[in-house]
């Protein structure tokens, strides 16, 4: 995991970007790994589930394949290694494991509450490959619910295709009346960065969690590892403001 940077130097991976051609009018956050520090818990549970199924994945494989992916991607990978199809609701039997892990140890990403408060009048929302009930539960457990009313929570279940397709981000932007080129997407997975790029939105890759910067890097992606530095990178406040 990359060490956190200080407030005085919010991003040592890449300097603050040059002014964008359009001001940011909507910030779209992923949920897991961006708003809530859930990925480490999910990886542990995924490792337990795949072992019980008889097709164990290492934690490194889970991070590479599952983090930020959709339910369909997860299922396909497990089926391929298992060598047989799974029932459509196969994961329901393990739902309690995620719930127990989250209730015992889910926390907000370090600095995210301060960042949301500092965005000021700029609208923001969450768009996740997770289900609505899962997003709301995570926000509740981490006391982030007051920042997101129902009109600003978007799930891959709302569209035909989740990330890495652009559908979810385009749906969020359209629902809130903002053109794609005026949106900024904050992601921690290659799937999310790919979706943002396909949607024609600016992407900001957060590598303060499990995903290394090399997996998020791209010619048009701003990398950072301290959530407190995000408002300045978005051009919404002055450095140190």
Helix (H, G, I), strand (E, B) or coil at 221: strand
Q: Which residues lie closer than 8 Å to 139 by C-beta, 6 or more apart?
A: 31, 35, 36, 126, 145, 147, 148, 153
Alpha carbons 74 and 130: distance in angstroms, whole number = 12
Alpha carbons 196 and 45: distance in angstroms, whole number = 28
Q: Mean pLDDT over residues 76-91, rounded?
A: 94
pLDDT attached to residue 11:
39
pLDDT attached to residue 70:
74
Is residue 197 assigned to a domain? yes
Helix axes 39-53, 71-82, angle to 10 degrees: 30
Q: Which residues lie closer than 8 Å to 196 by C-beta, 6 or more apart?
A: 28, 166, 169, 185, 187, 202, 203
Is residue 188 assigned to a domain? yes
Number of domains making up the chain: 2
Alpha carbons 104 and 100: distance in angstroms, whole number = 6
Q: How confident is the model at residue 15 (pLDDT cuts 50, 70, 90)?
A: very low
Q: Please, is 93 exposed, middle or buried when counting C-beta atoms within 10 Å of its C-beta (0-12, 13-18, 19+)?
A: exposed
Q: For 208-226, how does the pLDDT look when each residue is reduced to its tens digit (9 = 90+)?
A: 887 888 888 888 899 999 9
- Count of CB atoms within 10 A of residue 141's CB? 18
Do 97 and 160 fall into the same domain? no
Q: For 161-192, how does the pLDDT look when each residue is reduced to its tens digit (9 = 90+)?
A: 999 999 999 999 999 999 999 999 999 999 89
Is residue 99 assigned to a domain? yes
Considering 63, 85, 104, which residue would you say is the last residue of a domain? 104
Do 32 and 144 fall into the same domain? yes
* pTM for the structure as a whole: 0.82
Do 119 and 181 fall into the same domain? yes
Do 81 and 123 fall into the same domain? no
Do 86 and 163 fall into the same domain? no
Helix (H, G, I), strand (E, B) or coil at 214: helix
Considering 51, 80, 104, which residue would you say is the last residue of a domain? 104
Is residue 222 assigned to a domain? yes
Is residue 239 assigned to a domain? no
Alpha carbons 212 and 6: distance in angstroms, whole number = 19
Alpha carbons 239 and 138: distance in angstroms, whole number = 30
Q: Mean pLDDT over residues 77-105, rounded?
A: 94
Q: Which domain holds residue 77?
A: 39-104
Do 88 and 126 fall into the same domain? no
Structure-model confidence comparison of residues 10 and 211, the more confident one: 211
Considering 104, 139, 157, which residue would you say is the last residue of a domain? 104
Q: Which residues lie closer than 8 Å to 149 by C-beta, 6 or more apart?
A: none
CATH code where residue 183 lies: 3.40.50.1000
Q: Mean pLDDT over residues 1-26, rounded?
A: 48
Do 31 and 68 fall into the same domain? no
Look at residue 93 and tell me whether its pLDDT is greater than 60: yes
Look at residue 12 and tell me whether its pLDDT is greater than 60: no
Is residue 19 assigned to a domain? no
Q: How confident is the model at residue 21 (pLDDT cuts 50, 70, 90)?
A: low
pLDDT averaged over every residue in the chain = 88
Do 75 and 128 fall into the same domain? no
Is residue 179 assigned to a domain? yes
pLDDT attached to residue 8:
32
Is residue 241 assigned to a domain? no
């Amino acid at each position: 995991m990359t060490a956190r940077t200080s407030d005085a130097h919010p991003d040592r991976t890449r300097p603050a970007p040059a002014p964008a051609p359009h001001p940011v009018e909507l910030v779209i956050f992923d949920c897991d790994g961006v708003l809530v520090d859930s990925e480490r818990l999910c990886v542990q549970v995924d490792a337990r589930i795949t072992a019980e199924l008889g097709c164990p994945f290492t934690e490194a494989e889970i991070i590479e394949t599952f983090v930020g992916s959709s339910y369909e991607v997860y299922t396909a990978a497990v089926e391929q290694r298992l060598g047989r199809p799974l029932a459509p609701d196969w994961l329901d039997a393990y739902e309690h494991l995620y719930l127990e892990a989250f209730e015992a140890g889910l926390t907000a990403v370090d600095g995210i509450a301060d960042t949301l408060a500092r965005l000021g009048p700029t609208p923001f929302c969450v768009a996740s490959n997770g289900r609505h009930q899962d997003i709301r539960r995570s926000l509740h457990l981490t006391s982030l619910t007051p920042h997101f009313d129902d009109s600003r929570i978007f799930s891959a279940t709302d569209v035909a295709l989740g990330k890495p397709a652009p559908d979810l981000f385009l749906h969020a932007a359209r629902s809130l009346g903002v053109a794609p080129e005026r949106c900024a997407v904050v992601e921690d997975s290659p799937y999310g960065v790919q979706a943002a790029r396909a949607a024609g939105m600016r992407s900001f890759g957060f590598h303060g969690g499990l995903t290394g910067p090399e997996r998020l890097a791209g010619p048009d992606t701003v990398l950072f590892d301290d959530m407190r530095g995000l408002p300045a990178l978005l051009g919404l406040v002055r450095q140190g403001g």
